[in-house]
A = this chain, B = another copy of it.
C-alpha cells in the first residue's frame, strides 16, 4: 500500500530557512508513514509565455492540494492577529475537496485575547467591538469561526500549543501531534 500524501501548508515558506523547514516536516511525515508534499518542492522556472511566477506557484500548490490525501495546516498567527491568508485559502480548498484537514497553532490564545492586545476594544451588551464598531468573534476559537469550525466538523479540532515566542514559526511539536492524530485516525478507519 502506498503511503498517504499530506500537503504541508503554512507560513514557514517565508522563513529564510524555508527549504530546511520543509525537509524537517517531510522527515516527520515519513516517521508516521506519510509522504509530505511541501510547496517549495515545486520547481518553478522562468515563466513561459506570459505566465507570471506567482500564478505558476499558485497552479503548482493547487495541484498539490488536489493530489494530496489530506493536509496539515500551520495556523499560527502571522503578521497580525490571524493565520497566514495563503494557508487559510488552502484550508478552504482542502475542506471543499472533502479531504481530511488537521490544523495547529503555536499560539494558545483565543482570537479575542489576541485582538484585545492588538486593538482598542470595548464590550457592550456582551459584544466586543473595535474602534470602528466592528465586532470581534467571541467563541473561544483560535481564529475566525470558519477555520476552527471547519476543522472541528472534520473530526480534528484545531490543536493549540504555546511555543516559545522565538520559535513560534519553527516549533514542530504541535505539527507532529497532528501527524500522530492522523495516523491513529487512519489506522482506526475501515
Contacts and interface: CB of A to CB of B under 8 A. Distances in A.
Contact of A92 (B79, B91, B134): B91
A135 B14 CA distance: 5
A85 B105 CA distance: 15
A150 B65 CA distance: 13
A128 to B, nearest CB: 10
A9 to B, nearest CB: 10
A149 interface: yes
Contact of A53 (B97, B139, B152, B153): B139
A81 interface: yes
B146 A86 contact: yes
Nearest to A83: B85
A69 interface: no
A133 B170 CA distance: 12
B79 A79 contact: no
Given A81-B80, A97-B96, A89 B147 contact: yes
A28 interface: no
A143 to B, nearest CB: 6
A176 interface: no
A128 B100 CA distance: 34
B58 A153 contact: yes
A185 interface: no
Interface of A: 11, 14-16, 52-55, 57-59, 61-62, 65, 79-86, 88-97, 115, 118-119, 129-130, 132-137, 139, 141, 143-150, 152-153, 169
Given A85-B143, A89-B146, 6 more contacts: A14-B134, A14-B135, A58-B146, A85-B85, A88-B88, A96-B96
28 contacts: A15-B135, A53-B139, A54-B141, A54-B148, A55-B149, A55-B152, A55-B153, A57-B145, A57-B149, A58-B145, A59-B153, A61-B146, A62-B150, A79-B82, A79-B119, A79-B134, A83-B85, A85-B88, A85-B144, A85-B147, A86-B145, A86-B146, A89-B89, A89-B95, A92-B95, A93-B93, A94-B96, A96-B96
